[in-house]
Homo-oligomer: A and B are copies of this chain.
Amino acid sequence: MKTRIGILGYGNLGKGTEIAVAAADDMELAAVFTRRDPSAVTLLTEGVPVVNVSEIEQWTDKIDVLVLCGGSATDLPVQTPKYAGLFHVIDSFDTHARIPEHFANVDAAAKAGGKVAMISVGWDPGLFSLNRVYANAILPEGKDYTFWGKGVSQGHSDAVRRIEGVKNAKQYTIPVETALEAVRSGSNPELTTRDKHLRECFVVLEEGADAAKVEKEIKEMPNYFADYETIVHFISEEELLRDHAGMAHGGFVFRTGATGVNKEHKHVIEYSLKLDSNPEFTTSVIIAYARAIKRLADEGQTGAKTVLDIPPAYLCRQSAEELRAHFL
């Protein structure tokens, strides 16, 4: 019997989840829930009902795991605790500073409802978190480095768009190659976020706007750009839509540390992702963990979980015997 997946919210993450479910032969999409008029939503998959979220409580016995595809700013802090009382749920909550609070809220709701609820699943938080934790446990004396990109930062793109005279914009966060090399060398450099990244902006001006003034305003914007090496390109709206519509992203996690009687042996652990589609990769991680949730639920576990709580074998379709024989 396949694991029945429900999706709440049909934006980029919802579509990515739909695609990831289709690629998993042990899963099937049971329904998509939306706040919109269901007749206005067309899925990629044929024959799957689109249901208004007001009717979701009628689906509690037809869904094994509900994937919450809302945003971290306002949707998930409300939705995850709410639906964790009714379904086994999973979200990609990614506001790092608010994870402890979100975990506590979701944990209470899931325990009250006798459900399993995973939060903050994706690649950061998610796979990058796993790598930080494994590497720290193995090299207790060392330094951690996380680099993001090359990829679009939504927050920085929005900040550029708010400048007077800017019609549209995309901002890429790009790791600085010399900083990556310094980390790889094992020299344990001290690096701030701004030492590690440069910012490249592609900007479409409103007619008659002053390019020099816009460029100055971007480069001097506090917090967002002032402390960074920032490159600004002015392009046409046509070019922006043609060349910068993609959702590629990625990044690097390092831990460098030393062992030995006199700490004379250096070690470098490096993990990196190069992703053509941030939402599709994120939801591929989510669907692997949805499989784990089903197993935890079948074992009778309840409460909030993160990627740090899940044995790796639980993500896999294969049996423990197959994994030991072929992957260990």
Chain B neighbourhood of A265, CB < 8 A: 275-277, 280-281
Q: Is residue A325 contacting chain B, with contact meaning CB distance below 8 A?
A: yes
Give the shortest distance, in Å, between A105 (CB) and chain B (any CB).
13
CB-based contact B267/A312 at 8 Å: no
Assuming the contacts A99-B325, A269-B273, asked whether A280 and B260 have C-beta atoms less than 8 A apart, the reply is: yes
Residue pairs across A and B with Cβ atoms less than 8 A apart, 22 shown, are A19-B259, A99-B324, A103-B324, A127-B138, A130-B134, A133-B312, A133-B315, A134-B288, A134-B312, A134-B315, A138-B281, A259-B277, A259-B281, A267-B274, A267-B281, A269-B272, A269-B273, A270-B271, A270-B274, A271-B271, A307-B328, A308-B328
A173 within 8 A of B: no
**Is B316's CB under 8 angstroms from A309's CB?**
no
Instruction: Report how many residues on chain A are interfacial, defined by Cβ distance under 8 Å.
Output: 67
- A36 proximal to B (CB < 8 A): no
CB distance from A318 to the nearest CB of B (A): 8
A157 CB to nearest chain B CB (Å)? 20
- Give A140 to B16 CA distance when docked, in angstroms: 14
B-chain residues with CB within 8 Å of residue A125 when the two chains form the complex? 328
Write out the residue numbers on chain B whose beta carbons fall within 8 Å of the beta carbon of A327.
129, 132-133, 136, 308
Please give me the residue from chain B that is nearest to A26 by CB atom: B140
B-chain residues with CB within 8 Å of residue A136 when the two chains form the complex: 316, 327
Contact of A267 among B266, B269, B276, B315 (CB under 8 A): B276
A139 at the B interface (CB under 8 A): yes
| Cα(A327)–Cα(B130), bound, Å | 8
User: Does A320 make an interface contact (CB < 8 A)?
Assistant: yes
A100 within 8 A of B: yes
**Is A1 on the interface with B (CB-CB < 8 A)?**
no
Q: Is the CB of B133 within 8 A of A316?
A: yes
- Min C-beta distance of A90 to chain B, whole Å: 14
Over the window 271-302 of chain A, the binary record of Cβ atoms lying under 8 Å from chain B Cβ atoms (1 yes, 0 no) is 11111110011001100100100000000000
A137-B267 CB under 8 A given contacts A103-B324, A312-B130, A313-B308? no
A108 at the interface (CB under 8 A from B): no
Question: Could you say which of A277, A285, A327 has the most chain B C-beta atoms within 10 Å of its C-beta?
Answer: A327
Bound form: Cα–Cα A259–B324 in Å: 26
